[in-house]
Chain A
Amino acid sequence: MTDQAPALMILVPVFASLALTLIGPLGHRAAYGLLIVSIAISLASALATMVQVVQTGQSVHYRMGDWIPPMGIELVIDHLSAVVLVLISACALLTAVYSMHTARQDNPDRLNHYYALFALLVAGLLGMTATGDVFNLYVLLEISALSSYGLLARGKGKAYYATFRYLIMGTIGASFYLLGVGYIYIMTGSLNMADLAEILSRPELEASVSVRIGFSLIILGVWIKMALFPLHAWLPNAYSRAGTTTACLIAPLMTKVSVYIMLRIMFTVFSADYIFQQIAWSHLVIYLASAAAVLGMITALSQRDLRKMLTYIIVAEIGYLTGGAWLANTAGYTGAVYHILADGLMTLCLFMAVGAIIYRTGQSTAAAMQGIFQRMPVTASVFLIAAASVVGIPPTCGFFSKWYLLQGAVQAGAWVFVAALIIAGLVAAVMFFRLLEMAFFGRLEDAVSENGTENPHAVPPKIRLEEVPLTMLLPLVISGAALFGLGIYTNEVVQYLIRWSVPAGI
């Protein structure tokens, strides 16, 4: 069955989503169970494929419809995509388990349709990561985009306008991607990534303006999709108004998969040599990335709303990832790929923790953090770990990704990026210190006596332990532990997985 695993991991969620559409009458427990089972199968298939890739040291090819590429479409799973596939399915599984209470809270009606869109989004993301065909990628991009519009629009009142803006921006992004594919197709006549790479490496296309335009359009489209500064305006609005489950699913994964696509296009379809010799603007990207990192973090610092703060952290992290990719050296690339993993887990962890806090306190401003350590000790500890990882404190994985990125930046002599990484880290430290101070020492509202005046001699009221239900706590703890685990096994991850995916020529 392992040779069918690449197809199964994408198709099982598709089938699940079809079934979920129809099983409304069976109730929410059936829907919840079906979702978890299907994503668990995906995760198992992704893990099986990753093991196969690591053991053989070669990429796995799966021919759809038994057609030989480039005539047909093939799935290609190499070291890079195997890692991202496992990340996607693992994050989705944790979110699915977590969603038991929050999804019902956010979706009083049509929960099964919500779950169907959830499964479709996962299928779309997995498909985008696994595919070896640039047009197929576009179709799957639209599937994940459409299902995310549906999920985001389930938020409250203002979510509709935020989703609409996301839809407009997302469509512009996807259309630019498609137009870029069109330009590349005119010049090469192919859509298969491996075939394209072979044709594009021919000397007669080196100087072609159309190929450059095609490359620029694709990258521009992907940048809009991944909300790179200054194209990020849609993201904080759309994500911060979404329901808790939606935010936990979309925030860690959508942007990371876009980064993955950027890496694919840059290093699989095109090559580092081509980009840095032929593309005039390629040296400016590092400044954009630095600006994204610094401005994203500073804007995050100025936010009152917890969720909005986290969304600006995503904008900043996108800066790290883009910078790492465009440093064009091994350390930078390793840092970027490792940071996809680290940041995916970090964001998931933060959003889940904040989701848990919102679930219990019912408010999403920073004030909700007050006294969290007494009331929800486990959630607060996990939040602390995730915060440490964002700031970059060892042994969490955030430290190691920053280490690689810094190393890469120093090697490339990109001092702007070095400065940006350090400043962003410091700003993040200030931001989380402020929050955690409130979480540790902030008084509960109960401490303030009834008539509004504080009575210093009153006995502090007994603090009730209000930890969230087990279905929410378990994924939270697992993701927190994963941050440590990934940090501790950094060497192994880099050695067995990421080093193999480093493209030739950088």
Chain B
Amino acid sequence: MTWDTSLLWQFDILILLMMVICAVTALALEGLLSSAIVTGAYSFLICLMWTHMMAVDVAFTEAAVGAAISTVLFLGTAQYINRWIKKERPREQGIKQITLVIAVICAVMMLSATRDLPDWADPDSPASTHLSPGYIEQGYFETATPNVVTAVLADYRSYDTMFEAVVVFAAALVVMVILRRTSHKHRKLLHLRPKREGRDTILRGAAQSIIPVMQIFALYVLFHGHYSPGGGFQGGVIFGASFILLALCYNLKFSMNRFREHAVLWCCAGGVLLYAGIGAVCLGLGWSFLGYGALAGILGVSEVMARSHGILAVEIGVGITVMAVMVSLYNDLASGGDLEDGL
């Protein structure tokens, strides 16, 4: 009957409570803009929670993706929709109520069944003893990558990660296909968008000083992913965020002059192509798909180092795709698909 005080459960419970409050508030508020902001706060809280759970890579990604990009996407969309929800009118909600009752029963059952789960943070739970020690103990000798998460992500389970890059690529494609269809006669429907002429000098000054630093940091995160938290996703998202910041502080036209529509599309596909291409090269050399060991002959290094370089190469591919997709999503959603003016 011992629990490790180093886990600081009081802190956890405080954050979890705040998360629940944020979740309820986000769903209850009548203003959609404020619910979007509260959702952003919720994301930050979950980042804290994850950092505390030693899942630094995850927290990093959530901070970049969930808290930053998602909030911007929400705000970009909020320009084009009714910002206030209508009061719920009483109406027959038979099916919904039945669903709700079933959901509550499920919730009670699942909550009571947690007794059966291994204790939280139990080092002897099956999840901690079956596969993961193998990754920790062998990962370094097989991939020369001290960050085990990077090694598992980009090597042991790199097939997953490739499809993850394909998922974001698909998202950019789908959003493009859905939104960039506004014919010219429908432009008047975009009247909800506020007109912005000039931008603040202070904002521009701040952007000028922050953006280069952001981009350098993004590259650092990407290339240092072997040794520290980070990697292709995080680096890509931060790099993409720098263009979004540019668009926010100047305007969409300005940022699109720097990173043109065609270039964005090429980068979206190019990153995945780089990833899958490396896999295909391995396949062509007689190894399995994504068996980076095949690159040893080409690079003139040992198989272990070849794996390490392979990881870096595919992370760059992921970074390019994610960066371009984030920019593409912002461009489409914030401009309502016409790429004229953004948030």
Q: Do chains A and B touch in the complex (CB under 8 A)?
A: yes
The interface of chain A, by Cβ under 8 A from chain B, is 4, 7-8, 11, 14-15, 18-19, 21-22, 62-67, 70-73, 109-110, 113-114, 116-117, 120, 123, 127, 133, 135-136, 139-140, 142-143, 146-147, 149-150, 153-154, 160, 185-191, 199, 208-210, 213
22 CB-based A-B contacts, threshold 8 Å: A18-B273, A22-B265, A22-B269, A65-B158, A66-B291, A110-B177, A135-B160, A139-B163, A139-B167, A147-B174, A150-B173, A160-B178, A185-B127, A186-B126, A188-B126, A189-B127, A189-B130, A209-B113, A210-B113, A210-B116, A210-B117, A213-B109
Q: Contacts of B273 on A, CB cut-off 8 Å?
A: 15, 18
Q: Which of A21, A65, A189 touches B268 (beta carbons < 8 Å)?
A: A21
| Contact indicator A64/B180 (Cβ below 8 Å) | no
Q: Contacts of A67 on B, CB cut-off 8 Å?
A: 155-156
Q: Contacts of A15 on B, CB cut-off 8 Å?
A: 273, 276, 280
Q: How far is the CA of A133 from the CA of B110 in the complex (A)?
A: 25
Given contacts A66-B293, A110-B176, A150-B174, contact A73 B116 (CB under 8 A): no
Q: Contacts of B283 on A, CB cut-off 8 Å?
A: 4, 7-8
| Contact indicator A18/B113 (Cβ below 8 Å) | no
The interface of chain B, by Cβ under 8 A from chain A, is 109-110, 113, 115-118, 125-132, 134-135, 155-160, 163-164, 166-167, 169-171, 173-174, 176-178, 180-181, 265-266, 268-269, 272-273, 276, 279-280, 283, 287-293
Chain A residue nearest in CB terms to B178 = A153
Q: How far is the CA of A188 from the CA of B131 in the complex (A)?
A: 10
Q: How far is the CA of A67 from the CA of B307 in the complex (A)?
A: 12
Q: Which 3 A-B pairs have the closest CB atoms?
A: A189-B130, A150-B174, A66-B291
- Most chain B CB inside 10 Å of its own CB: which residue of A109, A117, A120, A139: A139
Q: How far is the CA of A209 from the CA of B180 in the complex (A)?
A: 49
Q: Contacts of A72 on B, CB cut-off 8 Å?
A: 156-157, 159
Q: Contacts of A147 on B, CB cut-off 8 Å?
A: 170, 173-174
| Contact indicator A18/B125 (Cβ below 8 Å) | no
Given contacts A22-B265, A63-B288, A150-B177, contact A190 B131 (CB under 8 A): yes
| Contact indicator A11/B173 (Cβ below 8 Å) | no
Q: Contacts of B167 on A, CB cut-off 8 Å?
A: 139, 142-143, 146
| Contact indicator A146/B292 (Cβ below 8 Å) | no
**A392 CB, nearest partner CB in chain B, Å:** 32
Q: Contacts of B178 on A, CB cut-off 8 Å?
A: 150, 153, 160
- Most chain A CB inside 10 Å of its own CB: which residue of B160, B170, B268: B170
| Contact indicator A146/B113 (Cβ below 8 Å) | no
| Contact indicator B126/A64 (Cβ below 8 Å) | no
Q: How far is the CA of A150 from the CA of B181 in the complex (A)?
A: 13
Main secondary structure of the interface of B (DSSP, over half): helix
Q: How far is the CA of A172 from the CA of B156 in the complex (A)?
A: 28
| Contact indicator B163/A113 (Cβ below 8 Å) | no
Q: Contacts of B159 on A, CB cut-off 8 Å?
A: 64-65, 72-73, 136
Q: How far is the CA of A7 from the CA of B286 in the complex (A)?
A: 13
**B153 CB, nearest partner CB in chain A, Å:** 12
Given contacts A7-B288, A110-B177, contact A127 B163 (CB under 8 A): yes
**B269 CB, nearest partner CB in chain A, Å:** 5
Q: Contacts of B129 on A, CB cut-off 8 Å?
A: 189
Chain B residue nearest in CB terms to A149 = B174
| Contact indicator B163/A153 (Cβ below 8 Å) | no
- Most chain B CB inside 10 Å of its own CB: which residue of A21, A120, A147, A154: A21
Given contacts A65-B156, A154-B177, contact A208 B269 (CB under 8 A): no
**B4 CB, nearest partner CB in chain A, Å:** 19
Q: How far is the CA of A316 from the CA of B210 in the complex (A)?
A: 59
Given contacts A139-B160, A143-B167, contact A117 B126 (CB under 8 A): no
| Contact indicator A21/B269 (Cβ below 8 Å) | yes
Given contacts A73-B159, A136-B157, could you give 18 more A-B pairs where the C-beta distance is less than 8 Å? Answer: A11-B276, A19-B269, A22-B269, A63-B288, A64-B288, A66-B291, A67-B155, A71-B135, A110-B176, A114-B177, A139-B160, A153-B174, A154-B177, A186-B126, A191-B131, A209-B116, A210-B113, A213-B110
**B177 CB, nearest partner CB in chain A, Å:** 5
Chain A residue nearest in CB terms to B159 = A64
Chain B residue nearest in CB terms to A146 = B170
Q: Which of B110, B156, B290 touches A71 (beta carbons < 8 Å)?
A: B156
Chain B residue nearest in CB terms to A21 = B269
**B59 CB, nearest partner CB in chain A, Å:** 18
Q: Contacts of A7 on B, CB cut-off 8 Å?
A: 283, 288-289
**B147 CB, nearest partner CB in chain A, Å:** 17
Q: Contacts of A188 on B, CB cut-off 8 Å?
A: 126-127, 130
| Contact indicator B113/A186 (Cβ below 8 Å) | no
Q: How far is the CA of A208 from the CA of B117 in the complex (A)?
A: 9
Q: Contacts of A133 on B, CB cut-off 8 Å?
A: 160
**A181 CB, nearest partner CB in chain B, Å:** 12
Q: How far is the CA of A21 from the CA of B324 in the complex (A)?
A: 14
Q: How far is the CA of A117 from the CA of B166 in the complex (A)?
A: 11
Q: Which of B109, B171, B176, B265 touches A146 (beta carbons < 8 Å)?
A: B171
Q: Contacts of B155 on A, CB cut-off 8 Å?
A: 65, 67
| Contact indicator A117/B289 (Cβ below 8 Å) | no
Given contacts A21-B265, A136-B159, A213-B113, contact A186 B288 (CB under 8 A): no
| Contact indicator A120/B166 (Cβ below 8 Å) | yes
| Contact indicator B134/A71 (Cβ below 8 Å) | yes
Q: Contacts of B166 on A, CB cut-off 8 Å?
A: 14, 120, 123, 143
